[in-house]
Amino acid sequence: MAPVCPAPSGERYERLPDYAKPAHYVLRLEPDFESFTFKGRAEIDVEILKPTTKLKLHAKALNIGAIALHLANGQEFRDLQHTYSDTAQVVEITLPVEIAPQKTKLSIDYIGVHNDHMQGFYRSKYTADGKDHWMFSTQFETTYARQAFPCWDEPVFKATYDVTLVVDDGLTALSNAMEKSSTVEGKKRIVKFDTSPLMSSYLVAFAVGKFEYLEGKTPKGTLVRIYTVPGKKEFGHFALEVSTKALDWYGDWFGIPYMMPKCDLIAIPDYSMGAMENWGLITFREIALLFDPAKTSTKQKTYVALVIAHELAHLWFGDLVTMKWWTDLWLKEGFASFMEYLFVGYNYPEMKIWLHFLNDELSSGFDLDSLKNSHPIEVPIENPNELDEIYDSITYAKSNSINRMLCFYLGEEKFKQGLRNYLQKFKYANAETKDLWAALSEASGQDVAALMSGWTSQMGFPVVSVNQLTQENGKRVLAFEQKRFLADGSEDRAASLWKVPITLSRSGQPDEPFHRFVLSEKRQEETVTIPDLEWLKVNQGTTGFYRVRYDEHLLHPLVTATGNSQLPVLDRFGLGNDLFALLFANQVTVDQALSFLEMSRNETEYAVWRSLDMGIARLGGMVDYADEDGSLKKRFDRYLIDTLRNTADRLGWTYTDGEDSQVGLLRGLIIGRICRAGDEKYNAKALELFHKYIDSNVPLHADLRGPVFGAAIRAGGDKEFQLLRSHYETCGFPEVERTALVALGQTCAKSGRLETLFDYAITQGKVRTQDLHSLFMGPACTRSGQQWVWDYFKKNLNQLTEKYGGVQTMLFQRCFKFAAEEACSEAVAKEVDEFFCGKVDPSSLKTLDRPIKQVSERIRNNVKLLKEAGPQLDAYLKSKGY
């Protein structure tokens, strides 16, 4: 493959030295809304552990003033000299004499900036009463606390914090701990907070602005508040309900009650990610916290519950027990992700959350981890400034999925007991992956490290091939063989092996395994007892993080059992999801995968359809490149319309009271797909509903908003485009805004409207930076859109880098992926490999190295797929009369 530009040599990154550590910070910050700067003073209790003539700590974008050091004997050094390294983001303070081990106090005066890059102590804009207003809040993970105060900004340096915020009178000031006192001096209010628990710097938080809140108490007495900017608190009721429930529920489940008297959850107008687990002051993107019964879609309501549950789980997993270093980031992210499902599963059964798990976690983990350029869960991290790209589907979705696998393997009780042991042992301290395995082994009596380390220390996951060797009198001999599953179907050069917990179910006992074993070797034979006429399913309940490939003899009855829904839903999902992945890896034929699709015509479950729909979308993306006149695409679309028509007609357009929310989700999904495939009747209806909604305010169900907006923009012209853009400007609700942006991006790439849209959003700054990536999603759905958006990306690299504050940021990388990864052309893959060389500085390029390789690998996989599956699809459609 074409080489990516030469790896930059760069300086080696160094962690802070171990001769000194902080014990306690007294911070005083005075934000200024006029200058967007803040005056700061940090007094830090620093313990000198080894004799030293200097002190090193982190800072970035701070203007450092006076520095002083008090020794234990009362001696004081003032006006200490310092040097600063911008690349290391380290201040080095020179001490006049060598200081022996002792407790000292370091004080530093400085000035910082309230930037608009959504990191550090940054500014957000909101409108109220027709005017623009500002508020300030923080985002410190991973390495941004140093932009707010000089500190030992690595997770292992836990300390306590006394925070004082000096703010304009009339504003609210919040921090992790409870307010201790508030006094007015002239026009300023001085707000002091209680001492925080012992914690890592990335968890410190402040918020200052005009806020309103809803308040509640958990049954066990924790004060919970939902804060918003003015005018939005009424959207906080659902969040209040979820969070008051979850705090006590987790306290019970973990066997450790929540550790603080209060927990605030605040919705921030400008926010880079979804949410952040600052201890006692959790911050959220508005769309991830606020809920409007009339406007929030089913999917989004579920997401709000999950995000809250995720962040609250972090209060134990992450805040109380923290990873020693970022290599073990999964220790908090993977577990918060698993706990969010566990909580929602138990407390909101109507959300059917474990069905959503399959597509949103399992399948998304598989997707990234089947690339050659994936990475292990435990990923070596040298420089944490290059870490943003690791917050990906490996750290989240794969970790989450292997936790689910382990929970099923050990049983929930033992799993829980192991986690409790781990939390007890490492509370207010730091841990590594091996510590977790030890705690789980202790609780279960099994060697968990031996089972699990293969899953966290090597990348990828296996596909298990199953062949039936003999069948006689209720006994079958099966051969199991594992090898790494790669998206392009190629062989794994590393010859990786896993310990794969295999479970088997059969028609007579479909809902729990009748046989289990661990596949440790490359190939193993297993004799099982099963009546001769029964089907046999491997990976019962799709709980294992592996794919299964059956021989024809085993597959056929499973496909039939799918058609008549004898196979349980989790297994139908697994079978279909594996089949399409195997198709894309050229290991099953188009014929086999599409027969399965046709067999699923009467499928009623959203989760199964959603997975099939992803398969359809990938095939659809590929056929777009099959020929210049789009004839294969047109034939495929006609085939899809015929295949989906019955399901769509059965679901109809109308939501009935008391209907299962999964049905509503399925309706949106199928209508969305049939409209995309060009069904005239459905597109006409979508356009009609769009106009009724926009022109006459006729309500449109939130689950149909995406499909209807999208169809109207694709089928409509200038008029619909203008109408939706005005709606974007006036609707005043974040989820509606996002749906509008995604739909606007689907406008015809040749109409000139994409130029207008991107200019409006990016150059004129009419769309918040936090939302810009949504624009890139629309064009990514068609060949002409892809060509347009990749061109745009190339021409506007500087503008985008500036907006986001660097190519290492997560949001920039999302744009890059949307702009390129759906393409299906070797020329684009090569451009992706080479594009950034010389255009971004070498150290930033390093942070893009893996994302670049992943994107070009995906593009090449698309090219390969077209070559292999294109002719097969053509022949299949012909054979069916299309």
Which residue numbers belong to the known binding site?
310, 314, 333
Report the residue number whose CB is nearest to Zn ion. Answer: 336
Q: Please report where in the chains the tokens 């306590």 appear, as a residue.
A: 160
Cα–Cα distance between 514 and 220 in angstroms, integer? 42
Choose one: 150-158, 177-185, 270-278, 604-612; the region binding ligand BES (CB under 6 A). 270-278
CA atoms within 13 A on the CB side of 606: 24
Q: Could you list the residues known to form a binding site for Zn(2+), using ranges.
A: 310, 314, 333
Choose one: 211-219, 262-270, 332-340, 358-366; the region binding Zn ion (CB under 5 A). 332-340
Given 311, 386, 389, 822, which residue is catalytic?
311
**Smallest distance, ligand BES to C-beta of residue 854, A:** 18
**Smallest distance, ligand BES to C-beta of residue 146, A:** 14
DSSP of 59-70? -SS-EEEEEEEE
Choosing from 16, 204, 205, 275, the residue that interacts with ligand BES (CB under 6 A) is 275
**Smallest distance, ligand BES to C-beta of residue 273, A:** 3
In 485-565, DSSP assigns E strands to 500-506, 515-519, 523-529, 536-538, 547-550
274 binds, among Zn ion, ligand BES, none (CB under 5 to 8 A by kind): ligand BES
**Smallest distance, ligand BES to C-beta of residue 380, A:** 18
Q: Do the bridges between strand 262-268 and strand 281-285 make them parallel or antiparallel, or are there none, so unpaired?
A: parallel
Cα–Cα distance between 233 and 289 in angstroms, integer? 11
273 binds, among ligand BES, Zn ion, none (CB under 5 to 8 A by kind): ligand BES
Choose one: 105-113, 272-280, 289-297, 562-570; the region binding ligand BES (CB under 6 A). 272-280
Query: Which residues from 660-679 bind ligand BES, rule CB under 6 A?
Result: none
307 binds, among ligand BES, Zn ion, none (CB under 5 to 8 A by kind): ligand BES
Assign 230 to helix, strand or coil. coil
> Residues 297-336: x/- map of binding to ligand BES (CB under 6 A)?
---------xx--xx--x------------------x--x
**Smallest distance, ligand BES to C-beta of residue 393, A:** 11
> Residues 280-319: x/- map of binding to Zn ion (CB under 5 A)?
----------------------------------------
Give phi and psi for 267, each to the nearest 5: -95, 125
Choose one: 124-132, 269-277, 348-356, 470-478; the region binding ligand BES (CB under 6 A). 269-277
Element (H, E) at 182: strand 179-185
**How many chain residues are in contact with Zn ion, going by CB under 5 A?**
2
Could you tell me which residues are beta bridge partners of residue 383?
Answer: none
Query: Which residues from 142-161 bind ligand BES, rule CB under 6 A?
Result: 142
Nearer to Zn ion, 333 or 571 (CB): 333
Contact present, 706 and 714 (Cβ < 8 Å): no
Cα–Cα distance between 440 and 447 in angstroms, integer? 8
- Residue 360 as a binder of ligand BES (CB under 6 A): the answer is no
**Smallest distance, Zn ion to C-beta of residue 314, A:** 6
CA atoms within 13 A on the CB side of 127: 8
Determine the longest span between alpha carbons in the chain, in angstroms: 92
Could you tell me which residues are beta bridge partners of residue 502?
Answer: 517
Could you tell me the strand order of the sheet in which 262-268 lies?
212-217, 223-228, 262-268, 281-285, 275-276
Choose one: 168-176, 336-344, 674-682, 857-865; the region binding Zn ion (CB under 5 A). 336-344
Answer yes or no: 92 catalytic: no
Cα–Cα distance between 863 and 74 in angstroms, integer? 71
Choosing from 273, 439, 548, 824, the residue that interacts with ligand BES (CB under 6 A) is 273
306 binds, among Zn ion, ligand BES, none (CB under 5 to 8 A by kind): ligand BES
Could you tell me which residues are beta bridge partners of residue 110?
Answer: 40, 64
19 binds, among ligand BES, Zn ion, none (CB under 5 to 8 A by kind): none
> Residues 620-659: x/- map of binding to ligand BES (CB under 6 A)?
----------------------------------------
Q: Cis omega (within 30 of 0) on the bond before 142?
A: yes
Nearer to Zn ion, 336 or 394 (CB): 336
CA angle 646, 649, 651 (to 5 degrees): 110
Choosing from 270, 277, 328, 703, the residue that interacts with ligand BES (CB under 6 A) is 277
- In 3D space, the residue among 315, 30, 322 whose CA is nearest the CA of residue 163 turns out to be 30
Residue 877 burial (CB count, 10 A): 18
Nearer to ligand BES, 515 or 846 (CB): 846
Nearer to ligand BES, 192 or 404 (CB): 404
Q: Please report where in the chains the tokens 């998206």 appear, as a residue.
A: 487
In Å, how far are 239, 349, 365, 828 from 343, measured between CA atoms?
Answer: 14, 10, 21, 44
**Smallest distance, ligand BES to C-beta of residue 612, A:** 25
Nearer to ligand BES, 334 or 716 (CB): 334
Contact present, 185 and 211 (Cβ < 8 Å): no
**Smallest distance, ligand BES to C-beta of residue 452, A:** 21
In Å, how far are 231, 688, 788, 874 from 144, measured between CA atoms?
Answer: 30, 49, 35, 53
**Smallest distance, Zn ion to C-beta of residue 310, A:** 5
Contact present, 865 and 624 (Cβ < 8 Å): no
Structure tokens at 714: 């694709």
Query: Which residues from 681-700 bind ligand BES, rule CB under 6 A?
Result: none
- In 3D space, the residue among 313, 273, 315 whose CA is nearest the CA of residue 117 turns out to be 273
Cα–Cα distance between 392 and 50 in angstroms, integer? 39
Contact present, 190 and 164 (Cβ < 8 Å): yes
- Residue 274 as a binder of ligand BES (CB under 6 A): the answer is yes
- Residue 141 as a binder of ligand BES (CB under 6 A): the answer is yes
Choosing from 135, 336, 715, 823, the residue that interacts with Zn ion (CB under 5 A) is 336
**How many chain residues are in contact with ligand BES, going by CB under 6 A?**
17
290 binds, among ligand BES, Zn ion, none (CB under 5 to 8 A by kind): none
For residue 540, with 0-12 CB atoms within 10 Å meaning exposed, 13-18 middle and 19 or more buried, which class applies? Answer: buried
> Residues 395-434: x/- map of binding to ligand BES (CB under 6 A)?
-x--------------------------------------
**Smallest distance, Zn ion to C-beta of residue 198, A:** 20
Nearer to ligand BES, 370 or 393 (CB): 393
Could you tell me which residues are beta bridge partners of residue 216?
Answer: 224
For residue 241, with 0-12 CB atoms within 10 Å meaning exposed, 13-18 middle and 19 or more buried, which class applies? Answer: middle
Kindly list the catalytic residues.
311
What residues make contact with ligand BES under the rule CB under 6 A?
A: 141-142, 273-277, 306-307, 310-311, 314, 333, 336-337, 391, 396
What residues make contact with Zn ion under the rule CB under 5 A?
A: 333, 336
